[in-house]
Amino acid sequence: MNFNIAGKINVFLMLLSLLVLAGCSSNYQWGWYVILPNNKIGLSNIEFLIGGLGYTIILSVISIIIAIFLGLIVSVASISRNRALNYINVGYTEIIRAIPVLVMILWVYYGLPVLLNLNFTAFTAGIIALSICESPFIAEIFRSGIQAVPKGQKEAGSSMGMNFFQIFYHITLPQAVRIILPALGNQFVYMLKMSSLVSIIGLNELTRKANELVVSQYRPLEIYTFLVLEYLVLILVVSFLVRRLEKRLKVY
């Protein structure tokens, strides 16, 4: 097992052990039955909590794909020799990065429909908000990757009669993607964690499910501990897949 993944698991188990020991030394009456599969209530609650996993994954995947597309467009503007495009890039990046993700989610869900006279579902609003908030960070990642590609290769493409877009598509972009893949993987992990904020507008993802269960079961410590485990497992799996993809790309 990868050392980083094993280390994260060990740290979490240590924290969980300390939590249990602290609970044993206090007057708190533990109720782990609410999330244990050996009883009807616990099994039902686990099924309810896991039911939000699909929304979390789909929301994060769609949002990161759109954010990558937007970020790529913004990054091209940043490396352009056109000053107007450079100013647009800087303005977009600085403004969007200054807006908290939670504020953007609320504005898109409650404010944007008023401006556009449209109705957005919580799922659609979440995708729009997360994609916009993530795009400037991915744009900076793309920019650093593009600048890391040796200029000599770009000049070689130019000497062969290739225009800017041909050089970018055939020479610069493929190499830049290999360079920035670890950073993109980290941003996807960050997106998975940010998706929990969409629970505030009613999307039934993991965090929303946990909040609803806490209201009915009155066991926040046990239920939120299970929520932490859900996110831990999900992020460890994603991290493992990203590292496998990195190794495959290094081979070719």
Quick one: pLDDT at residue 3? 46
pTM attached to this predicted model: 0.84
One-letter identity of residue 38: N
Look at the block and give the residue holding tokens 């070689």: 156
Helix runs in 80-205, H state only: 83-98, 101-106, 112-116, 122-148, 151-159, 164-167, 173-194
Quick one: pLDDT at residue 170? 78
Mean pLDDT, rounded, of the chain:
85
Quick one: pLDDT at residue 1? 44
Residue 163 sits in which domain range?
54-203
- For residue 248, being part of any structural domain is answered with yes
For the segment 184-213, the average pLDDT, to the nearest whole number, is 92
Quick one: pLDDT at residue 12? 56
CATH number of the domain residue 84 falls in? 1.10.3720.10
Quick one: pLDDT at residue 19? 57
Q: How many domains does the chain have?
A: 2
133 and 47 inside one domain: no
Quick one: pLDDT at residue 65? 96
